[in-house]
Amino acid sequence: MDFLSNLEYLRLKDVSIKDDDDRFFKWLSGSCTSIKELLLENCLGVNNLIIESSSLESFWCESHDFNDECHLNISGDRLEKLHFDAPIGLVNISAPNLKYLEWFGEFKTRQNLGNLMFLEKAMIYSTTQISNFDVLFDFLCSIRKVKVLILDPIILEGLLEIERELSFISQAKEFKSYNMMNTSLMLLSSHIINSSMLTIWGR
């Protein structure tokens, strides 16, 4: 199927993927050599989500069918936009040029995003109560530089309580959260010395 080499956009919604030995995503990575945008919505049957692409620029994934046994492995030097909202186990992402990150996760197991140096905007939310702040802290420390940082107050207040150095907050030019308690806001003030704008809003 030669046309696949010219495919630039692929959206899969409410489909079942027979993914024995991760063959589907290996096939996708090897055959769709011009793919720029990939969207996966409520896809069933995914064991491991493994994507290696030198052309992919945007990856969007939402699913309630994934679980802690699913692993996510993405490698792409051109990847600039990443939206992920699904239960997941181990995470390894190599996207050094990522600019926009939206992540909704559980932070139960190791999640490695490498070093993100060129983020324009990052939105990080927890979909459950956080039980392992070490995993969350390591995840956030992948953010080396960001212009706009938006954190779920569950994440922020938990991090402030464990009193760690929050370098990923201090270097943000603009910081946003919502429904914060006054005590948390006072603790936060010592970490946002480089931010030119602080926004706190209600739900």
* Segment 168-190, tens digit of pLDDT: 666 667 767 666 555 455 445 55
User: Whole-prediction pTM value?
Assistant: 0.85
HEC states along 104-126?
Answer: EECCCCCEECCCECCEEEEEEEE
pLDDT at 200: 45
Q: What CA–CA distance (Å, rounded) separates 86 from 70?
A: 10
Mean pLDDT of 14-34: 82
Q: What CA–CA distance (Å, rounded) separates 121 from 123?
A: 7
Q: Is the per-residue pLDDT at 165 higher than 80? A: no
Q: Is the per-residue pLDDT at 38 higher than 90? A: yes
Strand partners, 48: 71
Q: What CA–CA distance (Å, rounded) separates 178 from 152?
A: 7
162-165 LR contacts (CB < 8 Å, sep 24+): 162/133, 162/137, 164/137
pLDDT at 198: 46
Phi and psi (nearest 5°) for 76? -165, 115
Q: Is the per-residue pLDDT at 192 higher than 90? A: no
Tokens 């990847």, located at residue: 79
- Indicate the average pLDDT of the chain: 80
List alpha helices for 59-165, DSSP H.
Answer: 133-140, 153-161
